[in-house]
Amino acid sequence: MAGSYIAITNGVVFTGDVLINDQTVLIKGNQVAGLVPPAEIPSDTEIVDAMGRYVTPGFVDLQIYGGGSRLFSADPTKAALDEIAQALVDSGTTSFMITLATNTAELVDEALRALHDYRHPALLGLHLEGPYLNPEKRGAHPEAYIRKPEKSEIRALLEWAGTSLRMMTIAPERFDDDVIELLLQHGIILSAGHSNASFDEAMHGFRNGIQAVTHFFNAMSPFHHRNPGLPGATFQSGTAKASIIADGIHVDYQTLAISKRLLGDRLFLITDAVVAAHTGTYTHIFTGDRYTLPDGTLSGSALTMMQAVANCVRHAGIPLEEALRMATLYPASLVGADNLGRIVAGATADLVIFDEDYTVRNVFLGGICQ
């Protein structure tokens, strides 16, 4: 019979702040009980030997569309959510925002119906990427389904979605201030993306409560020396946090490095990952290292969060501790989850053990080894 505690020993522990040696992660139930020296491990404890590997908080991905063999927009069901969640947890992502890109009203309705009474410890909620975007920066989003925001429509969406809807990507230049305020009153995290906003329009959005920017540099007004656009406003805002896809395809690794230098703790990682799909609104075709639409338009990544962390270290000169914060502490902070992204007493025991080759070896979800 297992003891009342689990102790992860012999690991290099990333607390969310620093990397430490010679400390044991003590788990009781679904929480971290604390960090203790090996000599202070309680007697009734199940020992897990990390074998010198890294022990880190579980990864937090605020923008992902599918996992395993399921794309949520092509199969908006509880069974699909089960498979997606398990695949993500196995890869080290223990908290995620399932994401729907611009789609038909009927599909969004179907997805919300599946989410209404669905519970999984890794699921943070729904991120709607669209449909209130700028068609000029639509990327892979079908123009036929992109709409101008109407207050009555958004109010109805919020009432129907309830607590399932947590985050929205919007084009700020298409929104009136009162509609932004309505979304914020319902606790929705707003992220500027698929936007052709000028610098002034973006800064106005940030001042009015838009907290984040979606897949930095992708599908947005460019940074230009005479018109710094949404990227320039993000740099200058001082508050807006930006997600970035660190696969070397969506943005060059030097762009990642420059963005990190300028944004510091305001830059965090997402995967924007999809899976192959041949039904539904989106046809995602895997082309070796990325997903595209049939016409070649980039439509999603093939990243895991573990790979994104590795890319930050190997290709952008970002220290491991900071790359891990970008995958854990910073996104957790954006969604107000103080119990995630840290290994401290009272935190949820979502943990990942990985080796020096950035291979995930063990995952704990709520204190249970997967």
Give the percent of the chain with pLDDT over 90: 95
Give the tens place of pLDDT for each residue, 124-173: 999 999 999 999 999 999 999 999 999 999 999 999 999 999 999 999 99
Q: Tell me the pLDDT band of 281, cut-offs 50, 70 and 90.
A: confident
pLDDT recorded at residue 278? 85
Measured between alpha carbons, how far is 132 from 147 in angstroms, rounded to an integer? 5
> Active site residue: 272, 289, 350, 355, which one?
272
Judge whether residue 279 has pLDDT over 90.
no
Please report which helix (H) or strand (E) contains residue 357, including its range. none
pLDDT recorded at residue 3? 59
272 is an active site residue: yes
What is the overall mean pLDDT for the chain? 96
CB of 362 closer than 8 Å to CB of 90: no
Task: Sort strands 19-20 and 12-14 into parallel, antiparallel or unpaired.
Answer: antiparallel
Q: Which residues of 163-183 are buried (b: 16+ CB within 10 A; e: fewer)?
A: ebbbbbbbbbbbbeeebbebb
Q: Tell me the pLDDT band of 1, cut-offs 50, 70 and 90.
A: very low
pLDDT recorded at residue 79? 97
Burial of 238 (0-12, 13-18, 19+ CB in 10 A): exposed
Judge whether residue 195 has pLDDT over 80.
yes
pLDDT recorded at residue 228? 98
Task: Please name each of the domains of the chain with its CATH number.
Answer: 5-56+341-369 (2.30.40.10), 59-334 (3.20.20.140)
Give the percent of the chain with pLDDT over 70: 99
CB of 27 closer than 8 Å to CB of 366: no
Q: What's CA 336's distance to the chain center, in Å?
A: 13
pLDDT recorded at residue 80? 97
Over residues 301-323, the mean pLDDT reads: 98
Q: What's the sign of the alpha-carbon dihedral 266, 173, 250, 142? A: positive
**What's the pTM?**
0.97
pLDDT recorded at residue 94? 98
CB of 78 closer than 8 Å to CB of 118: yes
Over residues 104-121, the mean pLDDT reads: 96
Higher local confidence (pLDDT), 209 or 44: 209
Q: How many helices (H) and strands (E) would you count in the chain?
A: 10, 23
Over residues 218-227, the mean pLDDT reads: 97
Task: Give me the long-range contacts of 322-328 (CB less than 8 A, separation at least 24).
Answer: 322/260, 323/269, 324/14, 324/56, 324/57, 325/16, 325/265, 326/267, 326/268, 326/269, 327/59, 327/60, 327/268, 327/269, 328/16, 328/56, 328/57, 328/58, 328/59, 328/60
